[in-house]
C-alpha cells in the first residue's frame, strides 16, 4: 500500500492530535484518584504544553494563512480548516481547564488549608501586609505607560504578565488617554505566600495580579482607575537562522534569540471581566481575530502555579516519594568500567537512577587511563553536573569533544553558554551538521587498557552509553527513558564512526548495528515492517510492538497499514500524536493504539519486531516523524544481550500492554476512550516502581 494510494481519511491531523494529547493530560488533573497537589501540577502542565503549541504549531498555521499558502497534509485538511478546528478545540480545552480549577481543585485545596486569596478575602492584617509588600517589592520595579502620541503602545514580551488600566481624569500635564499599560517584570513572583502569622490557613497564597489590582491606583496619582485587566500575549517563538548562509552559527543564533520575545502575535489571553472597549482595543493593537482571544476566569498564566506544589509540605497530597534503584551489577562493581566490561547494563529511568551515568563520566574525567571523551548534547539545562564534569575533564588535559546542538528549541541560550565555557577550557565544540539537528544521545569514553596476561601490551577500548533521552539529570527523574552501557566492539565502532561524521567530513560509512538518521533509519524501519509483512504472508505470523512519542510519517504509516492487511499483529504505544487510525475495516483491523499518561512523562522509544522468532529489539532517540527521519541526526540501536532484551520486552513494552489502570485506547474514529481498569490500580508505571525502585525505608 503506497503513500499515494492512501485515502486522506486514513490519516489523523497532527495539530488536533496534539490537543487530544493535552485532553488526556487534563484528565489526570480531573481524576480524583490523583493526589490533589499533583492534580494542580497536571493542570499547569497542560498550560505549559499549550504555550509551546501556540508558539510553534499555531504560529506556523498563522504564518501560512497570512502568506496565502494553503497547505494540505496527508489528512487532506487545508490550513484554514485545520486552524478553525484547532481554535475550537483549544477554546474548549481552556474552558475545561479553568472550570476544573475554579469549581474543583481550588475548593479542594482550600479544604486542605491551601488557599488562593482574592481581594475580597483579605483581612485587615493581610491588606496591610500586602500594601507594604506592594510598596517595598513591586512598585519600585514597575513602569506604568500612559498611552498618548508620545507614549505609543509598548512592545509586549512573549508570555509576559501585563495589565491594561482604564482611567478617568487628567494627569499633571493635562493628558487624558483613558488607557495605560503596566508590564509586570519577570523578576516578580506570580504567587506569593503570606506569612503564617497573618494567614487564615496553613498555606495562604495571593496572586501578584491580585496585589496589582488592589493597589494599581497608587501608580496614577490624582486619576480614577475604572478597572484593571490582566492580559498575556503569546508570540511566534520559532527561530529562523539560515544555517547555510551564516559563517558563525553561534553568533547568528545569539543575535536572533532576543527577537523571539517579539515574534508575530498568535494568541491573546484576557481575564473574563475585561471590558469590550479594552478587549477590542487590544485585539486591534495586536492584529488578532476573535478566535485568537481567550477569555479566562482566573489567572491568565496557570503555568505560574507550578511552584505551589513544591512550596507546600504536604506529602499526603503528592505522589509517594521513592528512591530510584541501582542494578546490582553497578552497585557491587569497583568502577563503571569494570561493570561494563562484565556485560551490558540497561538503566530504565526514573525507576532506576541516572547516577551511574554521572558516575561513569566522573570516573572517566579523573581516570589517567582515559584519553578521550566524546558526547552529544541536545538538552542539559542551564545548570548541569555532566557539563561541569566535561569542563573539568578538558581542564585536566583529556581530549573532550562535545557535539552540542545550538538549535534545541527553548534551550538555545543555555547551550550557547555551555559552548563558550567548554571552548574556554580547550574542549572541542562542534554544532553538528548544517540543516540537521543532532538529536542522537551518545557518550563515548576511550580508555587505554592493559591485557591481564600481557601487562606490557595495551589497547584502546571504547565504552559507550546510548540513550532514548537527554543527558539531563532533572528530566531523568520525570521522563521514562532507557539507557544502555556497552563496550561491544561493533556497536562502539558504529558510535565512533557517527562521531567522526559529526565532527569531520566524509561520506557516511556502513554501520554494523546502529540505524542512523538521516541515512538508514527510515529505510531500516520500513524494511523491518515489510519483513514482518512477508513473514505473515508466508504463514509464519508477524508481530510488531512500537512505543514512541509520536507517529506521523506517512510512508511508515502506509507500511503499517500494509502489514496489518497481511495479518501482522501490531500494538502501538504512542504517548502523543498518532496520525494512524486503528481498527479500520480493510486497512487496520490488526492494529491497536494506546496512550499511557501517568506520573512520569513517557519518553522512551522502543521497537520490537518478532522476525520469525529472532525477536529484534531496538531503542532509539527518534520518533516516527518526518523531522526525525530526514531532518535530524538520530540513532536506533539494538539490544543484543539476551537477558536485557527480555527485560526491554517485558518492562518497556509488555508492561504497558498489560497496564492494569484505565488506559487510553484509540477507536477507529481516532477518538481515545478509557478502557476499564483491571486488577490492582496503578498501571505500568506503578508496577515498574515496585519492581525497579529501591524499597522505602522508614
- Looking only at the bridges linking them, the beta strands covering 543-548 and 605-609 are antiparallel
Q: Grid coordinates standing for 61?
A: 498555521
pTM for the full predicted model: 0.92
Reply yes or no on whether the pLDDT at 535 is more than 70.
yes
Residues 534 and 497 in one domain: no
Residues 681 and 578 in one domain: yes
- Rounded CA gap, 317 and 631, in Å? 43
| Residue 114 confidence (pLDDT) | 98
Confidence label for 171 from pLDDT (cuts 50, 70 and 90)? low
CA atoms within 13 A on the CB side of 629: 17
For residue range 325-336, what is the model confidence (pLDDT) as tens digits? 999 999 999 999
Last residue of a domain, one of 468, 503, 538: 503
Residues 281 and 398 in one domain: no
Residues 172 and 244 in one domain: yes
| Residue 661 confidence (pLDDT) | 75
Confidence label for 136 from pLDDT (cuts 50, 70 and 90)? very high
Let me know if residue 197 belongs to a domain: yes
Quote the DSSP letter at residue 648.
I
For residue range 277-329, what is the model confidence (pLDDT) as tens digits? 999 999 999 999 999 999 999 999 999 999 999 999 999 999 999 999 999 99
Residues 578 and 610 in one domain: yes
State mean pLDDT over 503-526. 92
User: Are the beta carbons of 55 and 236 closer than 8 angstroms?
Assistant: yes
| Grid-cell match 574556554, residue found | 424
| Residue 185 confidence (pLDDT) | 87
Active site residue 62: no
Point out the least confidently predicted range of 49-63, 217-231, 427-441, 461-475.
427-441
Residues 554 and 596 in one domain: yes
Q: What are phi and psi of 477, to 5 degrees?
A: -95, -10
- In 3-state terms, the chain is what percent helix, strand and coil (to 5)? 40, 25, 35
Confidence label for 211 from pLDDT (cuts 50, 70 and 90)? very high
Q: What are phi and psi of 352, to 5 degrees?
A: -115, 150
CA 479 remoteness from chain centre = 9
Reply yes or no on whether the pLDDT at 250 is more than 60.
no
Q: Grid coordinates standing for 357?
A: 551515568
Let me know if residue 520 belongs to a domain: yes
Please give the tally of structural domains in the chain: 3
| Residue 169 confidence (pLDDT) | 76
Name which of 78, 234, 75, 92 is nearest 577 in CA terms: 75
User: Which CATH number covers residue 146?
Assistant: 3.30.1840.10
State mean pLDDT over 609-621. 98
Residues 553 and 680 in one domain: yes
What average pLDDT does the chain have? 90
Point out the least confidently predicted range of 204-208, 270-274, 429-433.
429-433
Last residue of a domain, one of 317, 349, 373: 317
Q: Note down the domain range covering 366.
A: 330-503
Residues 558 and 490 in one domain: no
User: Are the beta carbons of 370 and 449 closer than 8 angstroms?
Assistant: no
User: Which CATH number covers residue 639?
Assistant: 3.30.870.10
Confidence label for 497 from pLDDT (cuts 50, 70 and 90)? very high
State mean pLDDT over 396-421. 79
For residue range 152-169, what is the model confidence (pLDDT) as tens digits? 788 898 999 999 999 887
Distances (CA, A) of 242 to 80, 245, 631: 28, 5, 15
Q: Grid coordinates standing for 483?
A: 539507557
- Rounded CA gap, 394 and 26, in Å? 45
Q: Which of 215, 439, 603, 610 is flagged as catalytic?
A: 439
- Rounded CA gap, 224 and 212, in Å? 15
Confidence label for 594 from pLDDT (cuts 50, 70 and 90)? very high
- Rounded CA gap, 161 and 87, in Å? 22
Name which of 26, 21, 17 is nearest 99 in CA terms: 26
pLDDT over 90, % of the chain: 76
Confidence label for 4 from pLDDT (cuts 50, 70 and 90)? very low
| Residue 238 confidence (pLDDT) | 73
Let me know if residue 123 belongs to a domain: yes
Q: What are phi and psi of 192, to 5 degrees?
A: -120, 130
Residues 361 and 466 in one domain: yes
Last residue of a domain, one of 287, 317, 347: 317
Residues 404 and 295 in one domain: no
Cβ atoms < 10 Å from Cβ of 312: 21
pLDDT over 70, % of the chain: 91
- Looking only at the bridges linking them, the beta strands covering 591-595 and 569-574 are parallel
Quote the DSSP letter at residue 239.
-
Residues 80 and 158 in one domain: yes
Confidence label for 151 from pLDDT (cuts 50, 70 and 90)? low
69-78, 150-159, 542-551, 667-676, range with greatest mean pLDDT? 542-551
Let me know if residue 325 belongs to a domain: no
Q: Long-range pairs for 671-677 at CB < 8 Å and ≥24 separation?
A: 672/20, 672/23, 672/24, 672/595, 674/27, 675/594
| Residue 698 confidence (pLDDT) | 37
Let me know if residue 524 belongs to a domain: yes
Which ranges constitute the DSSP H helices of 268-346? 276-285, 307-311, 328-331, 336-342
Amino acid at each position: 500500500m503506497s503513500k499515494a494510494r492512501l485515502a486522506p481519511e486514513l490519516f489523523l491531523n497532527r495539530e488536533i492530535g496534539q490537543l487530544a494529547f493535552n485532553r488526556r493530560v487534563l484528565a489526570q488533573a480531573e481524576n480524583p484518584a490523583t493526589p490533589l497537589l499533583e492534580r494542580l501540577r497536571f493542570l499547569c502542565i497542560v498550560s505549559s504544553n499549550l504555550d509551546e503549541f501556540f508558539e510553534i504549531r499555531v504560529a506556523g498555521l498563522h504564518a501560512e494563512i497570512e502568506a496565502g499558502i494553503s497547505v494540505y497534509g496527508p489528512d487532506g485538511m487545508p490550513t484554514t480548516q485545520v486552524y478553525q478546528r484547532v481554535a475550537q478545540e483549544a477554546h474548549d480545552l481552556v474552558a475545561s481547564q479553568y472550570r476544573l480549577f475554579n469549581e474543583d481543585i481550588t475548593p479542594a485545596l482550600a479544604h486542605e488549608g491551601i488557599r488562593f486569596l482574592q481581594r475580597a478575602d483579605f483581612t485587615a492584617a493581610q491588606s496591610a501586609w500586602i500594601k507594604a509588600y506592594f510598596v517595598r517589592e513591586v512598585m519600585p520595579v514597575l513602569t506604568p505607560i500612559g498611552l498618548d502620541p508620545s507614549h505609543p503602545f509598548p512592545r509586549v514580551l512573549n508570555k509576559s504578565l501585563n495589565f491594561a488600566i482604564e482611567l478617568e481624569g487628567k494627569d499633571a500635564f493635562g493628558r487624558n488617554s483613558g488607557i495605560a499599560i503596566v508590564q509586570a517584570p519577570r523578576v516578580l513572583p506570580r504567587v506569593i505566600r503570606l506569612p503564617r502569622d497573618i494567614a487564615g490557613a496553613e498555606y495562604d497564597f495571593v496572586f501578584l495580579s491580585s496585589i496589582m489590582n488592589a493597589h494599581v491606583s497608587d501608580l496614577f496619582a490624582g486619576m480614577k482607575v475604572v478597572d484593571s485587566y490582566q492580559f498575556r500575549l503569546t508570540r511566534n517563538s520559532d527561530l529562523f537562522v539560515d544555517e547555510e548562509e551564516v559563517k558563525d552559527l553561534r553568533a547568528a543564533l545569539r543575535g536572533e534569540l532576543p527577537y523571539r520575545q517579539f515574534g508575530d502575535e498568535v494568541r491573546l489571553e484576557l481575564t473574563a471581566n475585561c471590558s469590550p472597549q479594552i478587549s477590542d482595543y487590544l485585539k486591534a493593537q495586536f492584529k488578532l481575530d476573535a478566535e485568537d482571544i481567550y477569555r479566562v476566569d482566573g489567572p491568565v498564566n496557570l503555568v505560574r502555579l507550578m511552584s505551589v506544589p513544591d512550596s507546600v509540605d504536604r506529602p499526603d497530597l503528592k505522589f509517594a516519594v521513592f528512591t530510584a534503584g541501582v542494578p546490582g551489577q553497578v552497585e557491587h562493581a569497583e568502577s563503571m568500567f569494570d561493570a561494563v566490561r562484565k556485560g551490558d547494563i540497561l538503566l530504565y529511568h526514573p525507576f532506576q537512577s541516572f547516577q551511574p551515568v554521572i558516575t561513569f563520566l566522573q570516573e572517566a574525567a579523573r581516570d589517567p587511563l582515559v584519553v578521550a571523551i566524546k558526547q552529544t548534547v541536545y538538552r542539559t539545562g542551564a545548570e548541569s553536573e555532566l557539563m561541569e564534569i566535561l569542563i573539568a575533564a578538558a581542564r585536566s588535559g583529556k581530549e573532550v569533544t562535545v557535539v552540542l546542538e545550538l538549535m534545541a528549541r527553548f534551550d538555545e541560550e543555555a547551550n550557547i553558554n555551555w559552548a563558550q565555557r567548554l571552548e574556554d577550557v580547550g574542549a572541542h565544540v562542534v554544532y553538528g551538521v548544517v540543516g540537521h539537528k543532532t538529536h542522537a544521545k551518545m557518550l563515548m569514553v576511550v580508555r587505554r587498557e592493559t591485557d591481564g596476561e600481557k601487562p606490557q601490551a595495551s589497547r584502546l577500548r571504547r565504552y559507550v552509553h546510548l540513550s532514548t533521552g537527554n543527558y539531563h539529570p532533572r528530566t531523568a527523574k520525570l521522563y521514562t527513558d532507557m539507557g544502555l552501557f556497552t563496550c561491544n566492539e561493533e556497536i562502539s565502532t558504529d558510535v565512533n564512526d557517527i562521531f567522526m561524521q559529526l565532527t569531520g567530513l566524509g561520506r557516511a560509512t556502513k554501520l554494523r548495528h546502529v540505524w542512523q538518521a538521516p541515512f538508514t533509519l527510515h529505510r531500516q524501519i520500513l524494511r523491518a515492517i515489510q519483513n514482518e509483512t512477508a513473514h505473515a504472508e508466508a504463514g509464519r505470523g508477524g508481530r510488531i510492538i512500537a512505543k514512541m512519542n509520536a507517529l506521523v510519517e506517512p510512508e511508515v504509516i502506509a507500511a503499517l497499514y500494509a502489514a496489518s492487511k497481511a495479518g501482522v499483529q501490531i500494538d502501538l504505544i504512542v504517548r502523543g500524536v498518532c496520525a494512524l487510525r486503528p481498527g479500520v475495516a480493510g486497512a487496520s483491523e490488526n492494529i491497536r493504539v494506546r496512550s499511557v499518561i501517568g506520573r512520569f512523562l513517557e519518553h522512551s522509544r522502543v521497537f520490537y519486531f518478532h522476525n520469525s522468532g529472532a525477536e529484534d529489539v531496538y531503542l532509539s532517540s527518534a520518533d516516527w516523524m518526518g523531522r526525525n527521519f530526514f531532518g535530524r541526526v538520530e540513532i536506533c540501536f539494538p539490544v543484543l544481550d539476551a537477558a536485557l532484551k527480555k527485560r526491554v520486552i517485558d518492562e518497556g513494552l509488555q508492561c504497558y500492554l498489560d497496564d492494569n489502570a484505565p488506559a487510553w485506547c484509540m477507536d477507529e474514529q481516532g477518538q481515545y476512550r478509557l478502557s476499564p481498569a483491571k486488577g490492582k490500580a496503578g498501571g505500568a508505571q506503578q508496577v515498574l516502581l515496585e519492581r525497579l525502585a529501591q524499597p522505602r525505608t522508614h
